[in-house]
Structure 1
Amino acid sequence: MAVMWTEDLSTGVSLIDEQHKELFKRVNDLLLACSKGKGREEAVKAIDFLGEYIVMHFGAEEKYMRENDFPGYQAHKKQHDGFVAEFKEIKQRMEQNGPTVDLVVKINHFLIDWLINHIKKTDKALGAFLKNKI
């Protein structure tokens, strides 16, 4: 089952929204591959992408927050740091054991949970704040 980008996920900050849409695309690529029995191969691509994505995307969001004195910066950054820690654990498991079925399922749940909870709540609050700043 695909996760769909809908306008209610928009932060109103075009750079952030475009990056989120790319993340949705990648998660959907992984879900589609899983439905075709090719999730293990796609999981390796997803991990490679995420390694680059989180540096770029979190860096962009955190820059906006710092430059605009976002009052929720510390809490938002803490969520990013938690994502990074979880990602590192997943990546380490991938390097040690390869893309096992259990790990592919974990990646799917981890990413979908992040998309729904972090973007809908935390990033939307950031977007509402930035709306009057940029």
Structure 2
Amino acid sequence: MRYEVTKDLETGNTLIDSEHRQLFDMVNKLQDACSQGKGRAQIESSVKFLMDYVKKHFGDEDNLQKKYKYPGYDAHHRFHQSYMAQIDNAGKELLSRNADITSLAEVNRLIGILISHIRTEDKKIAAHIQTVEGK
């Protein structure tokens, strides 16, 4: 399954949407490598990228929420913390299992959670920013 930022996932915030695209591109590259039997060769760099990039992306989102005084910041931040821990655990599993089907299924499950989060919560942040900016 390929992941892309479709219209229903666009938040309208350039930074957030571009970072979502980068995350999905990396996951797609990892899945492509795995489907071509090259997953083990790419797994370490992909997992490290994913773990680091999720932290960067969530940091950027947290900063936007603080800057624009987003009223749902506390709950959103708690989700970020929990999700980063889950990604970290999944990444460690992928590395220890050499990208087996079980660990890849867990990554897909986590991406599904992220997509749901984007569709609802990230759109709320972007809408709030637009309201504050008067757009």
Does TM-score exceed 0.5, indicating one fold?
Answer: yes
**Higher normalized contact order (CA 8 Å, seq sep 6+, divided by chain length):** 1
| SS state at 1:85 partner | helix
User: Unaligned regions of 5+ residues in structure 1, if any?
Assistant: none
Give me the whole-angstrom Cα distance separating, in 1, the residues matched to 2:2 and 2:96: 29
Q: Partner of 2:90 in structure 1? A: 90
Q: TM-score, normalised by structure 2?
A: 0.85
- Bigger Cα displacement from structure 2, 113-122 vs 66-75: 113-122
Q: Partner of 1:8 in structure 2? A: 8
Q: Partner of 2:61 in structure 1? A: 61
Q: Deviations over 1:55-108 (max 9, x none)?
A: 211111001111111111111111111111112212333454443332122223
Judge conservation of contact 1:3–1:24 (CA < 8 Å) in 2. Answer: yes
- Bigger Cα displacement from structure 2, 98-107 vs 15-24: 98-107
Tell me the amino acid that sits aligned with residue 36 of structure 1: Q
Q: Deviations over 1:38-60 (max 9, x none)?
A: 23333323211122212211111
Q: How far did 1:128 drift?
A: 0.9
Aligned pairs, number: 133
Q: Partner of 2:127 in structure 1? A: 128
Q: Partner of 1:107 in structure 2? A: 107
Q: Alignment identity in percent?
A: 33
Alpha carbons of 1:89 and 1:29: their partners in 2 closer, same or farther (altered >3 Å)?
Answer: same
Tell me the amino acid that sits aligned with residue 89 of structure 2: E
Judge conservation of contact 2:4–2:21 (CA < 8 Å) in 1. Answer: no
